[in-house]
Amino acid sequence: MIDLELQKELDKNLALAARPQVRKVFQKAFQKKKNEMIAEFLNHPVTIEIKGGVNAANISGTLGGGSGNLFSFIGFDSEDDPIDPILRLLESTNFDYVKASKKRINYRINIPTAKDVFSVTPMPWASGRSWAKGIETGISGLGFYLRKKSDSSRSGIGIQSPRKVRKGGTKFKNTSYISAFLKKYKKEFENLQVL
Amino acid sequence: MKPQYQHELMTSFMLWFDHELLQKGEAYSNQTGFLYYDDDSRLPSPYKAYASPYKQWVNDSSIFGETNPVIPTSFNGYDRTDDIIFDFENGRIIETGGAFGTDEVLSGTFAVKDFNIYLTNETEEDLILENKFEVNSRYLMNPSAVKPYDQMVPAIFLNCEFMRNEGFAFGGEDRTTNMIKAVVLAENSYQLDGALSIFADSARKVISKIPFSKHPSTEYNDIKNGSYNYVTLSNTYLNSNPYYIEDVTVSKISQKAQSKIPSDLQIGFIDFEISTNRYPRS
């Protein structure tokens, strides 16, 4: 009968010996999940709408689905690409080897947090605020109205006075976005296993 | 309707906010001057209001600084025993017994807040772009009574825009998170930076949950029992499930945006994320 300590050592050595092969298999599964995460982000209605720029329709329903869109409502310049910093953060998701034990090899997944995303998504008119967080907790129409004064609307859509817009129904409706999305994928990555 | 969670949160938060700004920033100045008769149609007919050129007066006796704030208790010998109400919110006194005419000569010293604090439901765009505020100026050429009930700047407007309950523990305990947004309208950059700095440092502090019934003000904005001390009141309730400031972000409106705003006010934002654990379904 093999001593229990020896068995543990054998298991660990076995895991260590298999590390390069396991890494390859894990890398494949990890990449698949990462691609899935990025695809889901890019297909989120808010992402699509903002990526669509000044001419996008309000497919996210955050503005009541009427005229106008998030890109203009938040107050971005037409040449801005607000999605790119989030995409780059998601693409930076990676994993590290942690330890081998009991025939297992453990990896740590480094996925951005919601706070990381909020720090790279400043409002165009108040850089300490995050538009991505605002999607979840509420965005005032200030950015929209500030463009009224700008050189014939940089984002290219019509301007109304604050009261007209508010009473006319262009009131922002919160929706879940980054926090719920990252929470979901954090869990999915944690449950990622290869045999 | 009896007071709900949100009511208690906002009143507790406002009392804390006011105290924090006054104490940390010594954001007040003592002013000496006359009170002017002001006809206020909302008051019952025998009531006479005499207002200072400023609002709001400091009413919290726990505030101290290099110069302590003067919390008025009498004007020209008239105090609460002479049917006088001190309306700290509107910077005035109200005589309720019918003894005053419209030509009393009243003067005294009182501490005026650097920032008036208001709860609001107005949108940020309405506050910043639509409203025409009077300025609580410290340098008056022709002092006169300020109109009651109008909001005056410099001011900070507090609004709770978001609330979420998430499961926290078995047995029905939830974590309740609120986003409280403050819009700061300051007279200059120094004032704005000061307010933003004070509250940027307030993350991870706790705020006592002060019962609605223990709010220090009366319906006429006088202080109950003639004295109010935030520290004493807060300490009394500090252990009864306080609110926790999870996160604070402060931000100034960009220079580019500032140039498009039709006033000289300097604008900033303070966003608080407040949480507490509770049993909302019990």
**ipTM for the assembly:** 0.81
Percentage of chain B lying above the pLDDT 90 cut = 74
- Tell me the pLDDT tens digit for each residue of B89-126: 999 999 998 889 889 999 999 999 999 999 998 888 88
- Contact check, Cβ <8 Å, B161/A138: yes
Question: Is residue B249 less than 8 Å (CB to CB) from chain A?
Answer: yes
Nearest residue in B to A128, CA atom: B251
Cβ contact, residue pair A123, B250, below 8 Å: no
pLDDT, residue A150, reads: 58
Which of B251, B252, B266 is most worth mutating to test chain A (most A CB atoms within 10 A of its CB)?
A: B251
Mean pLDDT of B158-187: 94
Q: Return residues 114-133 of A near B (CB < 8 Å).
A: 123-130
Residues of chain B with C-beta less than 8 angstroms from the C-beta of A126:
251-254, 257, 269
Taking 50 as the pLDDT cut, the residues of chain A under it are 151-169
Residue A18 identity (one-letter amino acid): A
List % helix, strand, coil for chain B (3-state, nearest 5). Answer: 20, 35, 45
* C-alpha–C-alpha distance, residues A99 and A107, integer Å: 7
Residue identified by tokens 């407007």 is B157
Chain A / chain B CB contacts < 8 angstroms: 62
Q: How far is B126 from chain A (nearest CA, A)?
A: 7
Residue B267 has pLDDT above 80, yes or no: yes
C-alpha to C-alpha distance for B43 and A150, rounded to whole angstroms? 46
pLDDT band at B264 (very low <50, low <70, confident <90, very high): confident
- Least confident range from B51-65, B128-142, B238-252, B265-279: namely B128-142
**pTM of the complete model:** 0.87
Tokens (6 digits) for A179: 């926090």
- Per-residue model confidence (pLDDT) at position B116: 95
Q: Given the structure tokens 């919110």, which residue do they identify?
A: B89
Closest-CA distance, A190 to chain B, in angstroms, reads: 20
Angle at CA of residue B219, ends B215 and B223, nearest 5°: 55
Tens of pLDDT, residue by residue over B188-227, are 999 999 999 999 999 999 999 999 999 999 999 999 988 9
User: How near does any CA of chain B get to the CA of A94, in Å?
Assistant: 27
Is B80 a residue whose pLDDT tops 60?
A: yes
pLDDT at A70: 93
Residue B205 DSSP SS3: coil
Per-residue pLDDT band for B268 (boundaries 50, 70, 90) equals: very high
A180 and B CB contact within 8 Å: no
Strand segments, DSSP code E, in chain A are 94-101, 104-110, 122-123, 126-130
pLDDT of residue B195: 97
Query: In chain B, pLDDT over 70 holds for what percent of residues?
Result: 98
Q: What is the pLDDT of residues A89-145, one digit of tens each?
A: 999 999 998 877 777 788 899 999 999 999 999 999 999 999 999 999 999 888 887
Facing residue for A140 by CB, picked from B124, B130, B260? B124
